[in-house]
Structure 1
Amino acid sequence: MVAPLVAVTGPQRGAFGPRFLVAQVLRLYGARPIQVRPSDVDALPDFDAVVVTGGHDVQPVLYGAEPEVHPKYDPERDELEKRVIHKALAEHRPLLGICRGAQLLNVCLGGTLVQDLRLHRRKTSHRRTILPLKTLDVVPGTLLLKLLGQGAQRINSLHNQAIDRLGRGLHIAGRDHDGIVQAVEDPAYGYLLGVQWHPEFLLYRRSQRHLFRALIASIKKPALG
């Protein structure tokens, strides 16, 4: 049986650690990862599923907003990943968006983002760390709950932006204790999931590996709807 091909997006340079970890867990579950970079924008490979990884903030112009902060942007990567996301949606391919990947998925579906979370935190810290120090409250009846299991989950936090107005078809699947959206999904799609944390840094937790295992498993299943 031919291993399914999973596109793993990222910047032109750098981010070796996250992309390596994502590739390793995809191989663990029988997939063949292919790295896709901004230089590939005009020659996208065919793929069976996609993981849109984390990185710089999404440009506000993409959702019709003025910049409220001045972080680093990567316009070339934004353009690449927009095309990858739209290709995946058009072909109904399973998709996992991680951090900025979840944010860009939301934007591609017509949603908007909160640009600076510091003003929205009351109960939780704005500290950025790969350690699972933040609590995730998972919404009952969601795909995310099936994957992670019952009870509050511990997650990490490396982001300054977050999902604000939801894109078309997306439902909230998890929040933190400040009510900030931590996960979205489309229950009618099959496997279309965006998570605000970085599960690739938590692969020692079986529940986090389930996000990738289910992505691969869904390739072999017909989509719902």
Structure 2
Amino acid sequence: MDRPLIAVTTSRRSGWRIFPLVALNVWLAGGRSVRWDTARPPDLDRVDGLIVGGGDDISPDLYGMSVVTSARLDPDRDALEHRLVTGALNRNMPILGICRGSQMLNIALGGTLHQDAYGFFTTSREFRTILPRKRVTLCPGTRLHEIAGNAPMMVNALHSQAVADLGENLRVAALDEGGMIQGIERISDPFALGVQWHPEHLFYASRQRAIFAALVSAARARRQDRSQTAAVDADMDLGATPEDIAPAGATTDRE
């Protein structure tokens, strides 16, 4: 199989342990991965898709605000990922944002963040664990709803910030029980999806692997100069599962 090449951004500090999990999910979905961080000069023209991974909070300087709560920041990574997301969008390249990456997707498109998400959404339950303890609802009519199914989903949660004002051409794709945004997506090409949780840690669940499968499907469509969102929609409309999209031999146990 001709596997699309997906760039994965990581922290220089923790990327060594996060990247293998993301790369595993991309491989199961039919792609292959390369790791990028601030120590590695990136070249968007050599990849087919982009995953912006999780990590430290994003500086409010990027969306015109000042720091209102304590946070661990990485300005060099902020600048790199903002440039990469903007460059990917300009190249019609599909993007998956994971946790921090979802927030960066929103900021790059002109949106803002709640710096203290749980201080604002006081009825949202705060969990800081890689275990699936947080309940989210996928919004009907969204692409994420088509990709991962209509049942409520149990996910993990490690974030302190969350999307506030939506960026251009984005819509809400998932919410938690307190109304905090947990998923966002572009309405049209290029395919771009952001999830506030960490699906790479939940690789045993087919609904989570389907998120990576959708990105790889979009990357393959871009290679073939086809509509990415239409390609992903067609996979879902035809009842495609991760077994259909991923290489033979990949496991697909349900949640």
CA contact (8 A) 1:107 1:167 kept: yes
**Residue in 2 that maps onto 1:12:** 12
CA contact (8 A) 2:30 2:213 kept: no
**Residue in 1 that maps onto 2:134:** 134
Question: Partner of 2:201: helix, strand, or coil?
Answer: helix
Structure 1 residues 190-201: aligned runs within 5 Å: 190-201=190-201
* Unmatched 5+ stretches in structure 2: 231-255
Q: Which runs of 4+ in 1 moved over 6 A?
A: none
**Residue in 2 that maps onto 1:154:** 154
- Aligned partners of 2:218 and 2:110: how far apart in 1? 25
- Aligned partners of 1:45 and 1:128: how far apart in 2? 36
CA contact (8 A) 2:4 2:220 kept: no
**Residue in 2 that maps onto 1:218:** 218
CA contact (8 A) 1:41 1:80 kept: no
**Residue in 2 that maps onto 1:51:** 51
Question: Partner of 2:39: helix, strand, or coil?
Answer: helix
Deviation, structure 1 residue 28: 1.8
Deviation, structure 1 residue 41: 4.4
Superposed CA offset, 1:59-118 (max 9, x none): 000000010112110011111111211111011111100000000110110000000023
Structure 1 residues 81-92: aligned runs within 5 Å: 81-92=81-92
Deviation, structure 1 residue 46: 2.0
- Aligned partners of 1:85 and 1:19: how far apart in 2? 18
Q: Is 2:67 the partner of 1:70?
A: no
Count matched residues: 225
- Aligned partners of 2:152 and 2:11: how far apart in 1? 32
TM-score scaled by length of structure 1: 0.94
Question: What letter matches 1:117 in structure 2?
Answer: A
- Aligned partners of 1:44 and 1:30: how far apart in 2? 20
- Aligned partners of 2:172 and 2:123: how far apart in 1? 20
- Aligned partners of 2:42 and 2:212: how far apart in 1? 27
- Aligned partners of 1:43 and 1:149: how far apart in 2? 34
Question: Partner of 2:46: helix, strand, or coil?
Answer: coil
- Aligned partners of 1:89 and 1:10: how far apart in 2? 19
CA contact (8 A) 1:41 1:83 kept: no
Question: What letter matches 2:171 in structure 1?
Answer: H
Question: What letter matches 1:216 in structure 2?
Answer: V
**Residue in 1 that maps onto 2:30:** 30
Deviation, structure 1 residue 44: 5.2
Question: What letter matches 1:55 in structure 2?
Answer: G
The percent identity for this pair of structures is 39
Question: What letter matches 2:27 in structure 1?
Answer: R
- Aligned partners of 2:42 and 2:30: how far apart in 1? 28
TM-score scaled by length of structure 2: 0.84
Query: Structure 1 stretch 11-20 or stretch 214-223: which is displaced more?
Result: 11-20
Deviation, structure 1 residue 190: 4.6
Question: What letter matches 2:35 in structure 1?
Answer: Q
Question: What letter matches 2:11 in structure 1?
Answer: P
Question: What letter matches 2:117 in structure 1?
Answer: L
Structure 1 residues 105-184: aligned runs within 5 Å: 105-184=105-184
Deviation, structure 1 residue 43: 5.2
* Unmatched 5+ stretches in structure 1: none
**Residue in 2 that maps onto 1:203:** 203
CA contact (8 A) 2:144 2:173 kept: yes
- Aligned partners of 1:64 and 1:99: how far apart in 2? 20
Deviation, structure 1 residue 45: 5.7
Superposed CA offset, 1:119-148 (max 9, x none): 133333223111111111111011101111
**Residue in 2 that maps onto 1:95:** 95
CA contact (8 A) 2:9 2:53 kept: yes
